[in-house]
Chains A and B, each alone.
Chain A
């Protein structure tokens, strides 16, 4: 079980309250976690990754275990603590005004 923490507006969009828990087949990577997230909540497609390039949207970051994983390759394994569900995978919006 993978735990994912979404920013407020994506929680509202997906109509979820707190953390999202996902079953991810195979190795837990950014790609597999986000694929599972978008399969469960199709409304999130295009809001975290570009539809076509699958690149992370520029004002979002990925954190876990007090590390910034935003620039890790999408198929790199996530930390064991994320894969085991001990720690969540965070999708974080930039703190920008407006």
Chain B
């Protein structure tokens, strides 16, 4: 029987949660790298035993860990992330130029075809790639150097490149997103890039319709329909039907359209999930009720999913990389909270159960569907 492996990154280590296809009983392994911030872990789609993890610390900097046995054992690989050429400057919070400085890896995205190729989205925002299993890293500097870089600025959490979407139908096409710069696309495997933010509207920047400067929190796609993108922006839930060339709002009847993650059902490309958060000043659910919202129409019309989730006195947040789906017949949906809970739904969100309740604050959740 197939099963799932849930990879959880937290402020104080990594945890691996495993279950069979019923997703009712869970085994918890961890903490791995106890005491370290684990921003993200992700497995290779072509070799599920190959995992990569971003391990970091304010004291000791960045490390990359690699596993070849599904997370049972780990080895540290290369941690030398050096910007290509003279790094230059981006905007600081006060609008002054600020030198590009590497701080950490926010997101690791293994290649769709080669377990030794993996992309890293870093703070200060840049995209790196390794083709030797993480031993060495090279910047795809066409992104940072394409021209708009000096106008990028950090979001409240830093200027991180947090989303990397590899288009399965166009091998050279990659979408990335940066807080607070926006979405960018390459069609030539990372040599050249351009911003794709037309239709985004952000009141918190001098020109609300600017080419760059938007605080995009997360983008998502369904692999069967990679031209359709969904976005949770700082405010607004957005959709593009032309691979990012233009965006339109699909917030519809959401109680608030601020939030961080957005995810797509594994088998229904028009079923999407968000977790509305009260506001950018109050990073917790409205009314103290933790609700996932699901749209089965690709946006506009949303329903609250509450069964099994706390509906009073709940003031946790769900961060941008902390939601994922599995690919079992009945799609599983998972998310982690800053309160240390990881919730799972084995019925596409209709009902939820906490897998664990008391982990450190959850930063990221990824799911592997195992044969």
Contact = CB atoms under 8 A, between A and B. Distances in A.
Interface string B197-222: 00000000000000000000000000
Given A9-B35, A9-B36, A46 B80 contact: yes
Interface stretch (A18-26, A28-36, A76-84, A90-98): A90-98
A16 interface: no
Contacts of A57: 59-61
Contacts of A43: 63, 76
B305 to A, nearest CB: 33
Contact of A51 (B60, B63, B80): B80
Interface string A3-17: 000011110010000
A45 B175 CA distance: 32
A47 interface: yes
Contact of B63 (A13, A59, A60): A13
B24 interface: no
A66 interface: no
Contacts of B36: 9
Nearest to B37: A98
B271 interface: no
A9 B148 CA distance: 39
A95 to B, nearest CB: 11
Interface residues of B, number: 13
Contacts of B63: 13, 43, 46-47
A93 B59 CA distance: 7
Interface in A51-98: 51-52, 57, 59-60, 93-94, 96, 98
A94 B57 CA distance: 12
Interface of B: 35-36, 57-63, 76, 79-80, 82
22 contacts: A7-B59, A9-B35, A9-B36, A9-B60, A10-B60, A13-B60, A13-B76, A43-B76, A45-B80, A46-B79, A47-B61, A47-B63, A48-B60, A51-B82, A52-B82, A57-B61, A59-B58, A59-B59, A60-B59, A93-B60, A94-B59, A98-B58
Given A9-B59, A10-B60, 17 more contacts: A8-B35, A9-B60, A13-B76, A45-B80, A46-B63, A46-B79, A46-B80, A47-B61, A47-B79, A51-B79, A51-B80, A59-B59, A60-B59, A60-B60, A94-B59, A96-B58, A98-B58
